Amino acid sequence: MPSDNRVLICDSIDNAGIESLKKSGMVVDYQPEIGPVQLGLVAKNYDVLVVRSRTKITKEIIEASAQNVKIIARVGVGLDNIDVKEAEARNVRIINSPEAAANSVSELVIGLMLSLARNIPFADTEMKKGNWVKKDLIGTELRGKYLGIIGVGSIGRNIGRMGKALRMNLIGHDIFPINRDYIKEVGLIVTDFNTLIESADFITCHVPLTTETRKMINSEKLSKMKSTAFLINTSRGEVIDEKALYDALRNGTIAGAALDVFENEPPTNNMLLKLPNVICTPHIGAQTNEAQELASMVIAEKIIQTLREI
Ligand SMILES: NC(=O)c1ccc[n+]([C@@H]2O[C@H](COP(=O)([O-])OP(=O)(O)OC[C@H]3O[C@@H](n4cnc5c(N)ncnc54)[C@H](O)[C@@H]3O)[C@@H](O)[C@H]2O)c1
């Protein structure tokens, strides 16, 4: 059992994980508002640094602390705020908890699809202004529509199951082979990227941010989509060329988009936010009680396990 190990939690995380670390005998310092200067000074006093997305674990912080720090733990998915290369070079393990968010992100995607199909945010805003806009609100059903899933990983697969329950037809594209049992289970049509783009009524992105996926949805791809298509992005903002998307939405190249993620977060002067056919949420895919609790518990378990192995 790991004991006497010191853990510094640098961002706010659910209490369940903190309790679990304490129960295992670790000394836990919870400093969810710690700034970069202070962190640079104290990081060397810990065995484990725990962050979400606010705290940046830079090369300098790793250099100053790697004599003691054995693990950098990211509660959540992306590792964009950690200098992974430097950590690996200094033998510091990096762990995260991507599995915890899958259900919450998937449910948000379904919510965004329904919001686009029925223009729910517009209906709500107009009602509250005292306007009865019934005749302007002829929407579309999801049933029978083609849902294109780009990246059939843990979130993409979950969305496929939900889409099936809504009686949608599923098209999927991934760079790796998709599990055969899963394909059979949901009746997924597996295609290349271009076929998906050209055939889907709703297109949802679930790829990680890599050199290949950066701006994979660009003006060329947008021009191939149906003019009635809706695009949903809850993956990473950089996966879409925002300028090209703005043009496509203004020109009617596609019908609408729902975005939970942006190239710059929070977005500043982002013209997409001004368009009536865009629905935006502030990166809330994993912002549920369930996902946060699960993420903190998964991370705590992984920290305990990794310290046992080291
Ligand atoms: N909005 C949020 O709050 C939130 C929360 C969690 C995750 N995410 C994001 O969701 C995305 C997916 O997460 P996940 O847990 O499903 O990841 P995952 O690793 O389980 O799945 C990603 C899939 O994308 C595939 N892929 C990679 N490159 C590809 C390419 N060029 N073309 C097609 N497919 C490709 C992979 O093979 C894999 O199957 C990530 O970008 C993650 O950062 C967002």
Residues 6+ apart with CB under 8 A from 217: 205, 231, 233, 239, 240, 241, 244, 245
Edge-to-edge order in the sheet of strand 6-9: 27-30, 6-9, 48-51, 71-74, 93-96
Active site residue 265: yes
Q: Which of 52, 93, 157, 236 is catalytic?
A: 236
Does the CB atom of residue 152 touch ligand 1 within 6 A?
yes
Judge whether residue 143 has pLDDT over 70.
yes
For the chain, the maximum distance between any two Cα atoms, rounded to a whole number of angstroms, is: 67
- Residue 167's pLDDT band (cuts 50, 70, 90): very high
Q: Is the peptide bond between 32 and the residue preceding it cis, with omega within 30 degrees of 0? A: no
Tally of CB atoms within 10 A around 183: 17
The residue whose CB lies within 8 Å of the most ligand 1 atoms, and thus the one to mutate among 74, 75, 77, is: 77
Judge whether residue 1 has pLDDT over 60.
no
Q: For the ranges 19-28, 74-83, 194-203, 281-290, which has the lowest average pLDDT?
A: 74-83
Per-residue pLDDT tens digits for 243-285: 999 999 999 999 999 999 999 999 999 999 999 999 999 999 9
CB contact at 8 A, 241 and 215: yes
Per-residue pLDDT tens digits for 48-74: 999 999 999 999 999 999 999 999 999
Residue nearest to atom 17 of ligand 1 (CA): 153
CB contact at 8 A, 152 and 188: yes
For the segment 13-27, the average pLDDT, to the nearest whole number, is 96
Judge whether residue 112 has pLDDT over 90.
yes
For the segment 181-192, the average pLDDT, to the nearest whole number, is 98
The rounded percent of the chain whose pLDDT value lies above 90 is: 96
- Residue 3's pLDDT band (cuts 50, 70, 90): low
Nearest atom in ligand 1 to the alpha carbon of residue 287 is: 3
CB contact at 8 A, 67 and 47: no
Does the CB atom of residue 101 touch ligand 1 within 6 A?
yes
Judge whether residue 159 has pLDDT over 70.
yes
Judge whether residue 164 has pLDDT over 70.
yes
- Residue 78's pLDDT band (cuts 50, 70, 90): confident
At 60, phi and psi to the nearest 5?
-65, -45
